Amino acid sequence: MITKDTIDKIFETARVEEVIGEFVHLKKSGSNFKGLSPFSDERTPSFMVSPVKQIWKDFSSGKGGNVVTFLMEHEHYSYPEALRFLAKKYNIEIEETQQTEEEKAHADERESMYLLSEYAKNYFHDILLNHEKGKAIGLSYFKERDISDESIKKFELGYALDEWTAFTDSALSQKYSLDYLQKTGLTIVNGDRKFDRFKGRIIFPIHSMSGRVLGFGGRTLLTDKKVAKYVNSPESEIYHKSKVLYGIFQAKQSIAQKDNCFLVEGYTDVISMSQKGIENVVASSGTALTPDQIRLINRLTQNITVLFDGDAAGIRASLRGIDMILTQGMNVKVVAFADGEDPDSFARKHSGEEIGEYLTENAQDFIQFKASLLLEDSRNDPVKKASLIRDIVNSISKIPNNIQREVYIQECSRIMDISENVLFSELAQILKKAQGNSSDKIRQISSPVTGVKKETQKASKIDPKYILEKKIIEILLLYGNEVVEFMDYISEFDENGKEILKEEKYKQKVSDEVYMHLHDDEIEFANEHFNRIYAEIINLLNQEEDIKIDNFIHHLDVDLGSIVSDLIMDDDKYALSDWERKDIWVKKKEKNISKLVTDVIYNLRRVLIDEKIKDLKQVLSSEEEVSDKESFRTENLQMIIDYTDLKKLLYEKLNRVI
């Protein structure tokens, strides 16, 4: 197990904005950062990161926490895995206590598969660089393709010996399980026989966005047409080819910085482009583009430039990928290379500057590209031209933004020399057809003339005690260390014997003020989570320590840490809308902390008194068997009167009228 000192050092060193910035494109927003949620499909930012508090909050999914929680949620790391990732990133040496055999046995399947994949990557990479056959065959191939030593290291390329069980034997000798070798697809098991899946192939490790090895691609060096040119890892617990992009780990920072992602088809396309300085490039690894892959890019940028080979048939087959990108609300451009060229071959023939100029000069809007590509087939055929126009309008219909759709319709009208009205009419028909039965259902629910009774959802009952307990925890976390001026009310009597409230001012630490009131009234939190958080806060105060949010959260379990981040990031959601730029000013709680504290405490007392009065009335109305009913009734009535008087006093202090 990782020692407490190491964990503390990791939390002290790690910066939440730096770590999350590797996965989400963040923009400055006041003292915070904001970006698109990596946990939901959205087009308006609802994700906030606070460098000051060292926490994050996703308002679309409700998730939140510290830097470790983010890695656990986003990368599906276990707690130790997240700590190891941060330790590696910040060059922190990990000190560990000895694991027991029982603890080792409880390592989950995913972690075991990740560890095995990491071992395989290092094995293949070492064979390529240091084994005689690896250098003679694998390394020679990469050199022939002008792939540099730097790129081999950057993409951790490798080679698998052309022997049936070389890798499998090595992994088994290191005590890796045959079961996991089979589940990751590194070893194929057929009855009593077992052999290496990637035997005799050069190896391309496929990484997650965080750099974990998920699977492998292997290219044969044989010219035998009966042998598959490429073999990929099969689907597994850790590898889903529709959800990964080759090169995303190496490209993520460049994509975010340049606010654009170049999308290619193959491994060597990525490597050759990256080697020439075009680092914001990823590949779909020969598979058809999927919505999950597009969303992966959308976390970093909304701009995709698709690079097509010069093969016209291949381009036509890939056009549906553009429609998929448009459906996700992203901006797409297209660059086509000359016939016979692909990004790999083009990059090897030109300098980085020449490649950059070519991409800039030849990037086309998807309508221009589609029209220029398909017009050649339909130039003298009105029927084919009409079909092409419908095809383009169908692509435009995929765009979720109404303004963008209208702009593209105008552009299509100009290029195809056809009336905008006709195009808008066609667009309306496509949209209506796409909605199908769902639009009828929507009309049935929303239209008042359908005769269908609309079901209304009952509003959930608000629990004032929950809200006030939540507010107390929020106050302690945000302002517990601050010393402010409070006002108390002392009961006095004038010359006529009338009770009056006299104001008395004093200064005190917010946490001490809250503790004093709750302790004096013997108030306990009804909500279990709030009770546990409050106990942790009081424990800190008893040790005469200030409440430091970043340190406080990392000592909590994941559930409590998420609740704490929710509470202290709640007001930050207003920054997502930039209301101040619209002259809408959200009132800041810190303007009058003492009033906030006093109001919450008094209101909690009022709610508890209301509950007590309700209970007493219920007792009176029940038919309990007591020896002296009259005395019992008098006693309870007096208690109700006393509590009601106390409630009146609270309302006076709150400047309210009962």
What span, in angstroms and rounded, lies between the C-alpha atoms of 429 and 105?
Answer: 60
Mean pLDDT for 20-34 is 88
Give me the pLDDT at residue 312, please: 57
Last residue of a domain, one of 102, 125, 152: 102
Under DSSP, is residue 34 helix (H, G, I), strand (E, B) or coil?
Answer: strand
pLDDT band at 129 (very low <50, low <70, confident <90, very high): very high
Query: Could you tell me which residue, 547 or 394, shows the higher pLDDT?
Result: 394
Is residue 439 one of the residues assigned to a domain? no
Based on the fold, state whether residues 148 and 213 are members of the same structural domain.
Answer: yes
Based on the fold, state whether residues 14 and 87 are members of the same structural domain.
Answer: yes
Based on the fold, state whether residues 426 and 464 are members of the same structural domain.
Answer: no
Give me the pLDDT at residue 627, please: 60
What span, in angstroms and rounded, lies between the C-alpha atoms of 86 and 646?
Answer: 54
Lowest mean pLDDT among 101-105, 379-383, 402-406: 101-105
Based on the fold, state whether residues 88 and 113 are members of the same structural domain.
Answer: no
Structural domain containing residue 17? 4-102
β-bridge partners, 205: 216
Chain mean pLDDT for the chain:
82
pLDDT score of 439 more than 50: no
Phi-psi region of 529 (alpha: psi -120 to 50; beta: other; left: phi over 0): alpha
Based on the fold, state whether residues 98 and 148 are members of the same structural domain.
Answer: no
Based on the fold, state whether residues 208 and 357 are members of the same structural domain.
Answer: no
Based on the fold, state whether residues 20 and 56 are members of the same structural domain.
Answer: yes
Q: What pLDDT, in 10s, does the model give residues 362-387?
A: 999 888 888 777 676 666 778 888 88
Based on the fold, state whether residues 394 and 330 are members of the same structural domain.
Answer: yes
pLDDT score of 306 more than 60: yes
pLDDT band at 577 (very low <50, low <70, confident <90, very high): low
Last residue of a domain, one of 69, 84, 102: 102
Give me the pLDDT at residue 347, please: 95
Query: Could you tell me which residue, 620 or 48, shows the higher pLDDT?
Result: 48
Mean pLDDT for 250-256 is 88
- 315 CB-near residues (< 8 Å, 6+ apart): 308, 309, 336, 373
Lowest mean pLDDT among 276-285, 436-445, 530-539: 436-445
Is residue 441 one of the residues assigned to a domain? no
Lowest mean pLDDT among 248-262, 410-424, 480-494, 582-596: 582-596
Q: Are 166 and 205 in contact (CB under 8 A)?
A: no
Give me the pLDDT at residue 635, please: 77
pLDDT score of 168 more than 90: yes
Give me the pLDDT at residue 628, please: 64
Is residue 146 one of the residues assigned to a domain? yes
From residue 516, how far is each of 114, 302, 393, 601, 605 by CA, in Å?
51, 52, 69, 11, 13
pLDDT score of 617 more than 90: no
Is residue 90 one of the residues assigned to a domain? yes
Last residue of a domain, one of 59, 86, 102: 102
Q: Are 253 and 22 in contact (CB under 8 A)?
A: yes
Give me the pLDDT at residue 354, please: 95
pLDDT band at 437 (very low <50, low <70, confident <90, very high): very low
Give me the pLDDT at residue 595, please: 84
pLDDT score of 311 more than 70: no
Residue 281 corresponds to which tokens in the numbers above? 């490039």
When divided into structural domains, the chain yields a total of: 4
Based on the fold, state whether residues 161 and 220 are members of the same structural domain.
Answer: yes
Mean pLDDT for 537-549 is 71
Based on the fold, state whether residues 97 and 113 are members of the same structural domain.
Answer: no
Query: Could you tell me which residue, 466 or 656, shows the higher pLDDT?
Result: 466
Give just the sign of the alpha carbon dihedral 348, 352, 358, 363. positive
Is residue 487 one of the residues assigned to a domain? yes
Q: Give me the CATH number covering residue 19.
A: 3.90.580.10
Based on the fold, state whether residues 82 and 201 are members of the same structural domain.
Answer: no
What span, in angstroms and rounded, lies between the C-alpha atoms of 277 and 507?
Answer: 61
358: nearest Cα among 372, 370, 369, 343: 343
Query: Could you tell me which residue, 444 or 68, shows the higher pLDDT?
Result: 68
Based on the fold, state whether residues 89 and 112 are members of the same structural domain.
Answer: no
Token pair 């000069």 in the structure block, residue:
361
